[in-house]
With several copies, the nearest count.
Chain A
């Protein structure tokens, strides 16, 4: 079918719930209302109120409940309405989801997915625009996935639901409906932990993910530079090989992310390049990121976001070094 990202999510959930009776979808407003972004529309009608469940406004219990369901053999897919409301459940991720397999030496495991829309640009209220993938990526045991296309969204979400371990699935809500492409009907997987090369080039490596792929590709196109553009797709575990191979080829790199700069995932990427390709570098790696501030409210958020001109300027700096 031809689908947007939000439709791809819905299709992935439908496909998987059809295939695997253990899959359960729950969260705030996901059943009767079909989700505030309509990601879960129609699921309750199709799969019943036992498998698609509206919960109380309880992020801790949503995530912790998902862990418990997974322990009992179910396949929970929990929705957190906006990623800005995942921090209340941070402890459930750190203390249980990420390490219950480890704690029980493989006896138990927590195959669950926490889906949540992240990022700015939709003119919402405070706490509706955050990008905290860096903090989640730092937690050993958690997989952190951020798709950027409809095809990858379905394939990665399918993979997340098949995955034997917990996956935090960050959805680029800013582009939920802005891209559309053909996606297969079946439960195909886009493997977690593998980056995609969106564009092949020789002069510079540009690395990004999620909602930032669009302005990144736009900036590259406008500049007309010969760039390798890597879409990480998975933050953790990080596909170091793709990054390092590309930088060895180009000798220059730019990382683009929406999260605040300091302590963001850009640091890990630079450290990876340092580890394995330092001597290939012909210029310092540029980080084009959100600033070290909370995402501004809607009247100012565009100044915060890495828009194409800012990305282009960064690429130019690296090329001209």
Chain B
């Protein structure tokens, strides 16, 4: 052991060994992060034994804990039949349709955006299993606050596709319709997690048969708000599920620059909640974990569920990922496509016969077309919209601002030239 006698200035460092194993582990993590080898392999080899260190105190480090990701169906489609959740055939097929829907939705939305019909759009390509598996086990009474990359989970709660289009068009009313289904999209990353804790606290206080889910990304876990929210939930036994879609990127920031920890799931240890990492490209594993998560949460055990997946496209339509990451990495993840894997599963289960992919896609496209039309048909809104709904009762000064702006618009029609977007869906 090293002894430093500070006040005399003498340092006897002779016996201190550089922490070789920590370095080794770090290197493995970076490898992992750089995805030059499969994350499955690395994740499974996390349990690197620490080299004998000349440290006397019982330090805990990344080596102390091994987080095994939960996987039911392997990338090649193989699985142990005993592990398969006991779902009805309809449910198995339903999961497939939802995943296809998420994929198709993202493709169509990107196209709409390119045509100038949306402000911006954040594609979920690659997250299909993570989104669908995490949303499916939720109940009607549950609440879901997300960040925009969990559309089908919201649709499962009752949100309409039209409203998602309106949302990305910057039509204020969209969040009204989401709220009607107990959903919200929080744009400030991580900042809505305390609300989730509060909602769950309300459920607990009211003894409601419901849980609240936060959907958020790996980036969000670095915010102070997320920390306070989860720790708080742990102390107060709040029925909340913190579902992290760890897609390994926050815009251009890779997971290994987001935290030096090996997983987000292990944060659970620090909060006294339960946590699990699942293969976010394995819809059955996500579904199984979220089902358990919901049970745990309803019993007052808040949980962190980390779905490990990959953002195949840019962060949003404004983003150009070629600036900061390799195509090679992306290729690797194409091979791990969640939908294709699940197709292989359905084949093995003999359910594939019951799937007519083309018809499904047609149906989805029709739904999308209808939603698109409905969004286009969404009535023009009055300019007053920007003043109302801030307060239950509008304060006099704001009334005055609204009135005089109304007069102004009548008196100065030239204002029209400066209004780029018409206030309709």
User: Taking beta carbons and an 8 Å cutoff, which residues of A are in contact with B?
Assistant: 24, 28-29, 32-34, 36, 50-51, 53-61, 63-74, 76, 84-85, 88, 91-92, 95-96, 99, 101-109, 123-128, 140-141, 164-165, 193, 237-238, 240-241, 261-262, 291-294, 296-305, 307-310, 313
Interface membership of B351, Cβ < 8 A: no
Residues of B contacting A305 in the complex (Cβ-Cβ under 8 angstroms)? 418
Q: What's the dominant secondary structure at chain A's contact region?
A: loop
In the complex, A23→B229 CA distance in Å?
21
Cβ-defined contact, A193 with B395, below 8 A = yes
Cβ-defined contact, A56 with B392, below 8 A = no
Specify the chain A residue showing the minimal Cβ separation from B189.
A57
In the complex, A319→B257 CA distance in Å?
57
Cβ-defined contact, B421 with A302, below 8 A = yes
Residues of B contacting A85 in the complex (Cβ-Cβ under 8 angstroms)? 188-189
- Across the A-B interface, give the 9 residue pairs with the lowest CB-CB distance, nearest first: A68-B198, A64-B194, A72-B202, A298-B170, A237-B395, A33-B252, A61-B228, A105-B176, A56-B222
* Contact code string B402-425 (vs A, CB < 8 Å = 1, else 0): 100100100110110011111110
Residues of A contacting B235 in the complex (Cβ-Cβ under 8 angstroms)? 55-56
Interface membership of B231, Cβ < 8 A: yes
Specify the chain A residue showing the minimal Cβ separation from B240.
A68
Cβ-defined contact, B179 with A107, below 8 A = yes
Cβ-defined contact, B251 with A28, below 8 A = yes
Interface membership of B349, Cβ < 8 A: no
In the complex, A58→B232 CA distance in Å?
8
User: Taking beta carbons and an 8 Å cutoff, which residues of B are in contact with A?
Assistant: 119-120, 169-173, 175-176, 178-180, 184, 187-203, 205-206, 219-220, 222-225, 228-229, 231-232, 235-236, 250-253, 257-259, 318-319, 323-324, 381, 383, 385-393, 395-398, 401-402, 405, 408, 411-412, 414-415, 418-424
In the complex, A128→B390 CA distance in Å?
18
Cβ-defined contact, A65 with B197, below 8 A = yes
Residues of A contacting B421 in the complex (Cβ-Cβ under 8 angstroms)? 123, 298-302
In the complex, A103→B223 CA distance in Å?
22
Partner of B232, one of A65, A193, A238, A241: A65
Cβ-defined contact, A68 with B202, below 8 A = yes
In the complex, A85→B235 CA distance in Å?
21
Cβ-defined contact, B195 with A67, below 8 A = yes
Specify the chain A residue showing the minimal Cβ separation from B192.
A96
Specify the chain A residue showing the minimal Cβ separation from B383.
A303
Cβ-defined contact, B197 with A101, below 8 A = no
Partner of A101, one of B206, B391, B414: B391
Cβ-defined contact, A105 with B187, below 8 A = no
Residues of A contacting B201 in the complex (Cβ-Cβ under 8 angstroms)? 65, 68-69, 72, 74
In the complex, A305→B402 CA distance in Å?
14
Residues of A contacting B119 in the complex (Cβ-Cβ under 8 angstroms)? 123-125, 298
In the complex, A33→B250 CA distance in Å?
11
Residues of B contacting A68 in the complex (Cβ-Cβ under 8 angstroms)? 194-202
Residues of A contacting B408 in the complex (Cβ-Cβ under 8 angstroms)? 309-310, 313
Specify the chain B residue showing the minimal Cβ separation from A234.
B395
Cβ-defined contact, A24 with B258, below 8 A = no
Give 20 A-B pairs besides A56-B253, A291-B402 with Cβ atoms closer than 8 angstroms.
Answer: A32-B252, A33-B251, A55-B257, A57-B189, A58-B228, A60-B229, A61-B197, A64-B197, A64-B198, A64-B229, A68-B194, A88-B223, A91-B188, A292-B390, A297-B170, A298-B421, A299-B422, A301-B170, A303-B405, A313-B411
